[in-house]
Amino acid sequence: MATLCRPTVSVPEHVITMEETLDLARSVHADHPQLALALRLMENTGVKKRHLLRPIEETLKHPGFEQRNAVYEAEAKARVPAVVRQALTDAELRPQDIDLIIYVSCTGFMMPSLTAWMINRMDFRGDTRQMPIAQLGCAAGGAAINRAHDFCTAYPEANALIVACEFCSLCYQPTDLDVGNLLSNGLFGDGLAAAVVRGRGGTGVDLERNGSYLVPDTEEWIAYDVRSTGFHFKLDKRVPGTMEPLAPALQELAGQHGWDASDLDFYIIHAGGPRILDDLSKFLGVAPEAFRFSRATLTEYGNIASAVVLDALRRLFDEGGAHQTARGLLAGFGPGITAEMSLGRWRVASGRGAAPTRIADLVPGLAFAEEPHRAG
């Protein structure tokens, strides 16, 4: 049984509060005819603060897509190793025990993927499989969990590493005055996360079933308009209402498994905004408190795209986890409109601290000396 182990989450050191965000919007866009609407939408996100890769003075500048992408690559290489090392430590594995690396990101571009750099620099095996996912946006965190589950189901002795690296602030477009783009300036934050899915052993969520669902004819509701200046975020005003068609998809998946999605023990849900969580609570018939981990991520970090589901899961671990065999639902939502969903039970590894299953020859371990910035 594939087990999703404790995620490690890291956010950059620069912080901007919602009050500061609103003041900046009033200053930078004082003449915008829909400024009042944009401010109201930002205030209603539930975000209190976000973490940014660079100081706000630098974030507001646009030196060009080429330079921004260079910053993305440099910062990813500087920050990813620490979260990966901690995630491996928490899963009681070494780089040589990983058979698949899934790297998800929608805020920068590299070819080859950062997976190749990780294999070369971090002592992963040369035959480690690589799976970069770049175009599922916020849903990619859920997709990564599902593809890791699929892999470990096909190869029961294997282990997969998930890495999510999102520097949303590098997509800030100062001349894009669309209201959806202005809203994104107050909603999205920067963050990284990593987690291991073990084919055998481990403490966390035993993944039992996964599925995907695409809401018909919504592919333009969340999108990037790719221009010479980089990625311009497009957000349709109908997006907050997508839980009405997605809630039945969650119920359907649970029903196929003999479960009731309205009667589970824990929920790890992508926090795209408070309306998403409020509506899902309504349509699933569960208490708002069920989504407390997702709301905490949104409040403290903003929407950190594909890393949200991993951060929400990390908060469940921080709370002490769940009781043995507790049933739960994980879901990420993003462009498409796409839902990536999975079901699993909480498990605590027997003989905690014993040597994990190895499918490769053991070599001396690495020294895990680096600590993530503000790691959870």
Residues annotated as part of the active site: 138
Alpha carbon distance 270, 297 (integer Å): 9
Q: Where are the alpha helices (DSSP H) in the chain?
A: 18-28, 35-43, 56-59, 65-90, 114-121, 140-154, 179-187, 243-256, 274-284, 292-301, 308-318
Could you tell me which residues are beta bridge partners of residue 331? Answer: 269, 341
Residue of 139, 141, 305 lying closest to 218 (CA atoms): 139
Alpha carbon distance 163, 87 (integer Å): 10
φ and ψ at residue 364, rounded to 5 degrees? -55, 140
Collect all residues with Cβ–Cβ distance below 8 Å to 335 and sequence separation of at least 6.
135, 136, 137, 138, 139, 219, 221, 222, 223
